[in-house]
């Protein structure tokens, strides 16, 4: 199974929900905590077109924010993306 890379913000309820969703589905993830207005946050915004946190990726594929990952989980797309090729 592929590992999801998540960019989170300390104390953010959506960051906590995203990690819980991944854990509930036994999806491994690597977490990077980002502070608002940091260089990492701006780079993430340039990469995704959004300054929202959290953000999740499978390799170079952006999954989006918590709501987008939740929707992908509900329709089965998330498991398809993380499945080994």
Domain range list for the chain: 7-11+14-82
DSSP class of 54 = -
pLDDT in tens, 35-48: 988 999 999 999 99
Residue 48 phi, psi dihedral angles, 5° rounding: -105, -20
Q: How confident is the model at residue 16 (pLDDT cuts 50, 70, 90)?
A: very high
pLDDT in tens, 18-29: 999 999 999 999
The dihedral through the CA atoms of 18, 23, 25, 26 has a sign that is positive
pLDDT in tens, 54-66: 999 998 899 999 9
Which CATH homologous superfamily contains domain 7-11+14-82? Glutaredoxin (3.40.30.10)
Is residue 85 over pLDDT 80? Answer: no
């Amino acid at each position: 199974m592929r590992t999801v890379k998540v960019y989170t913000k300390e104390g953010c309820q959506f960051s906590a929900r995203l990690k819980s969703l991944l854990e509930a589905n036994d999806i491994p993830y690597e977490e990077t905590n980002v502070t608002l207005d940091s260089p990492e946050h701006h780079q993430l915004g340039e990469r995704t077109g959004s300054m929202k946190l959290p953000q999740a990726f499978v390799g170079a594929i952006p999954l989006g924010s918590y709501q987008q990952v939740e929707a992908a989980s509900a329709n089965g797309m998330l498991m398809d993306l993380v499945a080994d090729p």
